Amino acid sequence: MKTRINGVEIAYADQGTGTPILFVHGYPLNKTMWDDQVKGLSPRFRVVTMDLRGHGESEAPLWFSTMEVFADDVCALLDHLKIGRTVLAGLSMGGYIALAFYRKYKNRVKGLVLADTRPQPDTPEGKQGRFTAAQTAHKNGAGAIADVMVPKLLSAQSVTGRPDLVQAVRQMITKTPVTGIAADLMAMAERTDSVALLPEITCPTLIIVGEQDKLTPPADAQLMAQKIPNAQLEIIPGAGHLSNIEQPEAFTAAVRKFLESLPE
């Protein structure tokens, strides 16, 4: 399904009934990364996935973006779907967006799932790397980004032993318009430091990380678990950064248990 939100056509899917959970994908992916979670959770809960602007089947305007712009899109989609409060789940850049959303719209958040993400901003070298990557995308296309990103997103075992998974992730990346990739990179480079926000998070929070996550390692998840009051931490063995894709059953089971623990 599609709807026009904040001037941009946004694609989304909305399945099931019960406690709502909205999943926000990472860079440079799209809502299909959540297919296993949709399948596993929608018989029991209302599961919403969306393609962020510049991704998947959503429009990709040539424009700057920020985590707050993405958060505004999430909020407008909730309004469109008449969902008052939701559990918000974000992986990686989706987690940066979830933190930005919490800062701006915390009354709309029933619970948070922060997966393979971190609260710290980019280092100066990290920012420089974003601009270099944007130039690479501009000059050589999304395929060049896939070459760099696939080994970072997946665990070493998946890269060598699971060609189907490598292919699926590659395809998601190569389908992403270059304007979307560049907008993500600029937005991530300029994102706000969310470390000081963590002790102020009062909703139930589940933190998930792949044991072999190289991009946002378990130390980042442990920092969030220490600073967010009463947060739960789940470390998933046999997974890298895309823990929900590499170990879908363990990831979905952790989210299911978390959703079941929330008051209706």
Residues that bind ligand MLT (CB under 6 A): 26-27, 92-93, 188, 215, 241
Q: How far is the CB of 92 from ligand MLT (least distance, A)?
A: 3
Nearer CB in complex with ligand MLT: 33/77? 33
Q: How far is the CB of 22 from ligand MLT (least distance, A)?
A: 16
Nearer CB in complex with ligand MLT: 110/241? 241
Question: Among positive and negative, which fits the CA dihedral 74, 79, 81, 83?
Answer: positive
Nearer CB in complex with ligand MLT: 27/258? 27
Nearer CB in complex with ligand MLT: 26/177? 26
| 3-class DSSP string for the chain | CEEEECCEEEEEEEECCCCEEEEECCCCCCHHHHHHHHHHHCCCCEEEEECCCCCCCCCCCCCCCCHHHHHHHHHHHHHHCCCCCEEEEEECHHHHHHHHHHHHHHHHEEEEEEECCCCCCCCHHHHHHHHHHHHHHHHHCHHHHHHHHHHHHCCHHHHHHCHHHHHHHHHHHHCCCHHHHHHHHHHHHCCCCCHHHHHHCCCCEEEEEECCCCCCCHHHHHHHHHHCCCCEEEEECCCCCCHHHHCHHHHHHHHHHHHHCCCC
Nearer CB in complex with ligand MLT: 53/241? 241
Q: How far is the CB of 153 from ligand MLT (least distance, A)?
A: 6
Q: How far is the CB of 216 from ligand MLT (least distance, A)?
A: 7
**Which tokens go with 98?**
């979830």
Nearer CB in complex with ligand MLT: 25/108? 25
Q: How far is the CB of 27 from ligand MLT (least distance, A)?
A: 4
Q: How far is the CB of 9 from ligand MLT (least distance, A)?
A: 22
